[in-house]
Amino acid sequence: MAISTSNNVGAGAAAGATTSSKATKADNSPEAIQERFMSLLVAQLKNQDPMAPMDNAAVTSQMAQLNTVTGISDLNKSMDTMVTAMGANQTVQATSMLGRSVLVDGSSVSLKGGEANGAFELKQPVDKLNVNVLDKGGNVIKTIDLGNAAKGVHEFKWDGTNSEGKTLPDGAYAFRIDASAAGVKVDASTMVKTEVQGVRNAGTAGAMLLTANGSEVALGSVKQIF
């Protein structure tokens, strides 16, 4: 009976040690890493060959590596905290944009009451510039000749009429820019002018602006504020 009891206790202790070991290995916190390192170091010192003891330089090197690992872990935690705080602060600052109009990337215009506004950006001056308004099928329904234009951001207005002078119903339309300089095509970035109606904290992505045209854009994507 004594042997049986001893064996059971030993087995239970072994099982408990295994469970504890698994739990410790699953914990990657700096404290757990330090605990495991010290346990291994003590075991090495106890079982070292007296005729060939551990080199002090090797122990020092291992200690330095441990400090590096735990230091990086602490740094990562600090950075995560900082990013979260910056995101919250950016969201608070972005609330000052509520009700204001902004220019963001896009190629749509909203026609309302016979007026629609759009914008674009040119990387260089052009001597020929047309705004082509498109219907839902992608067909050109109106071409607005803007002549020439300098480098930079430009706005345009569309009166809501097609090429035949007929007033079109309110709604969403698209547009594209055809520009050239000395007969060579010039690329233009199209933009949408819309109103900021809300702000959302997107965590590490920062503040997101909820706009009147139903889009959600990052604060850093705003090209211009009015």
pLDDT (tens digit per residue) in 50-60: 656 656 666 66
Element (H, E) at 198: strand 188-201
- What pLDDT score was predicted for residue 152? 95
Q: Could you read off the pLDDT of 92-135 as tens digits, one per residue?
A: 788 888 999 999 999 999 999 999 999 999 999 999 999 999 99
Say if residue 62's pLDDT is above 60.
Answer: yes
HSE-up (13 A, CA, CB side) for residue 120 = 29
Instruction: HSE, CB side, 13 Å, CA atoms: give it for residue 49.
Output: 3
**Domains with residue ranges and CATH for the chain:** 2-82 (no CATH), 102-195 (2.60.40.4070)
* 84-98 pLDDT tens trace: 555 556 777 888 889
Q: What whole-number distance in Å separates Cα of residue 126 and Cα of residue 2?
A: 99
pTM over 0.85: no
User: Is the CB of residue 116 less than 8 Å from the CB of residue 158?
Assistant: yes
- The confidence band for 19, taking pLDDT boundaries of 50, 70 and 90, is very low
Structure tokens given for 85? 């705080």
Residue 2 confidence (pLDDT): 37
How much is the mean pLDDT over the chain?
79
Q: Tokens standing for 102?
A: 């902004």
Name the pLDDT band for 13 (thresholds 50, 70, 90): very low
Q: What is the DSSP letter of 221?
A: G
Residue 207: pLDDT band with limits 50, 70, 90: confident
The C-alpha atoms of residue 137 and residue 118 are separated, in whole angstroms, by 19
